[in-house]
Amino acid sequence: MPSAIISPSVLASDFGQLTAECKRMLRGGAQWLHMGKHFVPNITLGAPILASVSKGVPGIFMDCHMMVSHPEKWVNDVADAGGSLYCFHIEATSDPVPLIQSIHERNMKAGVAISPDTPSTAISDEVGEHADMLLVMTVYPGRGGQKFIERCVPKVAELRARFPDKDIEVDGGVGPKTIDACAQAGSNVIVAGTAIFGADKPEEVIATLKSAVDTAQAKIFAKH
């Protein structure tokens, strides 16, 4: 049974205190830190910032969501900066399996993401088997603070049915009010930005998200 993994999105953090913010999240119970890069020429969080965080927080697992065109161009930069998982969009490449292999060659896990208007079936069985993680976006890529798109949730369930042992991540508008839908559909990796960084007690939010995933996962796998 895939374990619950909470990956706070650093785009919601105080950039002036980024290393301290990452340490604060890890102390609060987070296992990963989610770092998104957008579909624009100038990457929001570039390799130098990743490298700085990697040096400042030894052992940190950097969940790098590459919302970029030509994702193959950035694999080496992210690997050199200390990236732990490189997640690209299926919409951004016509040849995903070789890209996954190149990510693995750089000793990173490989993730495959889909945007809200992309069906889960765009991730073929072959691609899903090669990948380490599958990501369902529950907002449109590009900015934080958007409202959770509930119609994306069935895609999580479809992927969980096909890939029962894979990490399946949701990203966008996720927090205590929307976690149950995501967890019950089968997501075990939870990205949350404002819901965690904006909380008075982020450790309590992290615990709430973990508990929801653990409870849902136990019910899902008890049926099999």
Map out the domains of the chain as residue ranges: 5-222
Q: Percentage of the chain with pLDDT > 90? A: 74
Question: Which residue in 77, 171, 180, 200 is the catalytic one?
Answer: 171
CATH topology of domain 5-222: TIM Barrel (3.20.20)
- Residue 41's pLDDT band, with cuts at 50, 70 and 90, is very low
- Residue 224's pLDDT band, with cuts at 50, 70 and 90, is low
For the question of residue 214 being annotated catalytic, the response is no
Mean pLDDT within 110-137: 98
Q: Are 159 and 136 a contacting pair, CB within 8 Å?
A: yes
Q: Are 43 and 54 a contacting pair, CB within 8 Å?
A: no
- Residue 220's pLDDT band, with cuts at 50, 70 and 90, is confident
Alpha carbon separation from 87 to 14, 27, 92, 108, 222 (Å, rounded) = 23, 25, 11, 10, 30
- The answer, yes or no, to whether residue 65 has pLDDT greater than 90, is yes
- The answer, yes or no, to whether residue 200 has pLDDT greater than 90, is yes
**Which residues make up each annotated binding site for a divalent metal cation?**
34, 65, 171
Q: Are 83 and 66 a contacting pair, CB within 8 Å?
A: no
Other Cβ atoms closer than 10 A to 197? 20
- The answer, yes or no, to whether residue 53 has pLDDT greater than 90, is no
pLDDT attached to residue 146:
78
Residue 145 backbone class (left: φ over 0; alpha: ψ -120 to 50; beta: rest) = left
Q: Are 202 and 14 a contacting pair, CB within 8 Å?
A: no
pLDDT digits (tens, 9 = 90+) for 70-118: 999 999 999 999 999 999 999 999 999 999 999 999 999 999 999 999 9
- The answer, yes or no, to whether residue 26 has pLDDT greater than 70, is yes
